[in-house]
């Protein structure tokens, strides 16, 4: 072995250590695919958003956390909106409703509908007590392919009704989960529908 | 002959690494392991190619 080979071996070893630190070590956070953008939590000026209706009861949020999946959505102004678990998501606290918005990854070798029916719904059926599907429809939300799953489930003796709305996107799909007690659901449904219908991708 | 086989294997490893890094669709939960595996292959491939080049010189 000559000096050049030894130098290459040392360089390789250093590169592998750096790679390990960058992948699993303390530098792993540096290369996250998306980051929480503070602007995503601010109410936007709806004048510039042609696809979204202006409203006094609804505020417009532009989510700019994940580069290929910027989106715009309207939420009631009196709901408390905070960031969810992952970039591109919101967790919303509201009276009589629990709403979660976020992005989900659909593998390229599957379609959104296949994913919903073959993976997501069976998972819900297994994990939720008293799961029962009420409705499943294919629809279009502002020109985007979408699927709506409505179901009931039981938590601690109460029955809850949930809308899961899947909207196909460029890289990730959007997932909205809007839940309320079954007795409140008829009152909440118009609000839920307004939220869903306000959704649009910004970089189609 | 052995040297040529070694170069071919090295290039194949580099090619596989770039394929995993650029074209392979990875679920979000496995992004990190894919990143590590692809760059591991690229580094090892380039390194073995260089070693092959400078071996015995």
Average pLDDT over chain A, rounded to an integer: 85
The answer to whether A27 contacts chain B (CB < 8 Å) is: no
> Does A169 share its domain with A141?
yes
What is the model's pLDDT at position B40?
Answer: 96
State mean pLDDT over A8-13: 94
* pLDDT exceeds 60 at position B9: yes
> Does A10 share its domain with A42?
no
Could you read off the pLDDT of A85-138 as tens digits, one per residue? 888 899 888 888 899 999 988 877 788 999 999 999 999 999 999 999 999 999
The answer to whether A30 contacts chain B (CB < 8 Å) is: no
> Which ranges of chain A would DSSP assign to H, the alpha helix?
3-23, 112-115, 121-127, 185-198
State mean pLDDT over A24-28: 77
What is the model's pLDDT at position A177?
Answer: 94
Q: How many domains does chain A have?
A: 2
The answer to whether B47 contacts chain A (CB < 8 Å) is: yes
Q: Determine, for residues B27 and A9 on separate chains, whether the beta-carbon distance falls below 8 Å.
A: no
Greater pLDDT, A171 or A70: A70
> Does A114 share its domain with A15?
no
Report ipTM (2 d.p.): 0.88
Q: Determine, for residues B51 and A8 on separate chains, whether the beta-carbon distance falls below 8 Å.
A: yes
What is the model's pLDDT at position A23?
Answer: 85
Q: Are A138 and A101 in contact (CB under 8 A)?
A: no
* pLDDT exceeds 70 at position A71: yes
> Does A19 share its domain with A64?
no
> Does A24 share its domain with A73?
no
Contact list, A33 vs chain B (CB under 8 Å): 28, 31
The three-state secondary structure class of B14 is helix
> Which ranges of A69-173 would DSSP assign to H, the alpha helix?
112-115, 121-127
> Which pairs count as long-range contacts for A39-46, CB under 8 Å and 24+ apart, including other chains?
A39/A64, A40/A64, A40/A65, A40/A83, A40/A90, A41/A81, A41/A82, A41/A83, A43/A77, A44/A72, A46/A74
CA distances A146 to A36, A81, A133, A158, A196, Å, are 25, 24, 17, 29, 10
Mean pLDDT is lowest, of A138-147, A186-195, B48-57, for B48-57
Domain boundaries, position A162: 34-201
> Does A15 share its domain with A46?
no
Nearest CA in chain B to A172: B28
Which one of B6, B17, B20, B36 would you mutate to disrupt binding with A, by most A Cβ within 10 Å of its Cβ? B36
* pLDDT exceeds 90 at position B53: no
> Does A86 share its domain with A171?
yes
Shortest Cα distance from A2 to chain B (angstroms)?
Answer: 7
Domain boundaries, position B22: 2-54
State mean pLDDT over A171-191: 92
Could you read off the pLDDT of A27-59 as tens digits, one per residue? 776 555 566 677 777 777 544 444 445 566 888
> Does A104 share its domain with A22?
no
* pLDDT exceeds 70 at position A26: yes
Looking up residue A133, the CATH number of its domain turns out to be 3.40.1000.10
What is the model's pLDDT at position A35?
Answer: 67
The radius of gyration of chain A from alpha carbons, rounded to an integer in Å, stands at 21
> Does A26 share its domain with A49?
no
Contact list, B24 vs chain A (CB under 8 Å): none
Q: How many domains does chain B have?
A: 1
């Amino acid at each position: 072995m000559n000096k050049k080979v030894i130098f290459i071996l040392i360089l390789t070893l250093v590169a592998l250590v750096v790679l390990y630190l960058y992948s699993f070590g303390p530098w792993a956070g540096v290369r996250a695919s998306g980051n929480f953008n503070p602007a995503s939590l601010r109410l936007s000026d709806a004048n510039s958003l042609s696809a979204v209706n202006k409203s006094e009861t609804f505020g417009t949020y532009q989510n700019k956390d994940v580069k290929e999946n910027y989106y715009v959505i309207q939420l009631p102004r009196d709901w408390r909106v905070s960031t969810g678990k992952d970039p591109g998501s919101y967790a919303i606290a509201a009276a009589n409703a629990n709403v979660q918005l976020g992005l989900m990854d659909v593998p390229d070798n599957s379609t959104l509908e296949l994913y919903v029916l073959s993976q997501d719904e069976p998972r819900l059926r297994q994990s939720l007590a008293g799961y029962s599907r009420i409705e499943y429809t294919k629809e279009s939300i502002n020109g985007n392919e979408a699927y709506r799953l409505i179901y009931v489930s039981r938590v601690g003796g109460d029955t809850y009704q949930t809308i899961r709305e899947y909207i196909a996107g460029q890289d990730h799909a959007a997932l909205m989960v809007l839940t309320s007690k079954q007795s409140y659901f008829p009152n909440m449904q118009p609000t839920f529908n307004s939220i869903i219908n306000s959704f649009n991708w910004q970089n189609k | 002959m052995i040297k040529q086989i070694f170069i071919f294997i090295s290039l194949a490893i580099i090619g596989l690494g770039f394929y995993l890094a650029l074209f392979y669709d990875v679920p979000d939960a496995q992004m990190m392991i894919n990143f590590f595996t692809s760059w591991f292959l690229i580094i090892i491939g380039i390194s073995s190619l260089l070693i092959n080049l400078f071996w015995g010189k």
